[in-house]
Structure 1
Amino acid sequence: ADPVLEALAAELPHVTILKVDIDSSPRPAEQYSVSSIPTLILFKDGKEVERSVGLKDKDSLIKLISKHQ
């Protein structure tokens, strides 16, 4: 479990957060052209609206998500 993602999910219950282990499930990484980890892909209405590569703290992720609400 990722404590940052768990805290984010608790603070933003209206946001669906998924974590994919690309070693055991490589298909999503191929489908979304993920070349570095961690990669955050933010979708709104089924469309990618933001992509961020690298570790982020909870507050940075909240700002990123808030831009698209």
Structure 2
Amino acid sequence: MAEEKSEIFDEILTTAEAAKYLKLSEQVVRRLDIPKMREGQIVRYRKKDLEAWVEARMQTVPEESPEA
């Protein structure tokens, strides 16, 4: 059980860690509509929520056809 708790908390990120993970600035991360946990001024993000947010914004780029 202690190992399960450890795994859960390993997946919770600060704003700075979330920004680094997404390769964005902290200011941008704060403005984005990403699910977050807030307790007073403390804000935390679940890694799986960040991944879901990225997946939801992925766009398929059509392959370029070779010029003949």
Same fold (TM over 0.5): no
Q: Which has the higher helix share?
A: 2
Larger radius of gyration: 2
Structure 2-normalised TM-score? 0.32
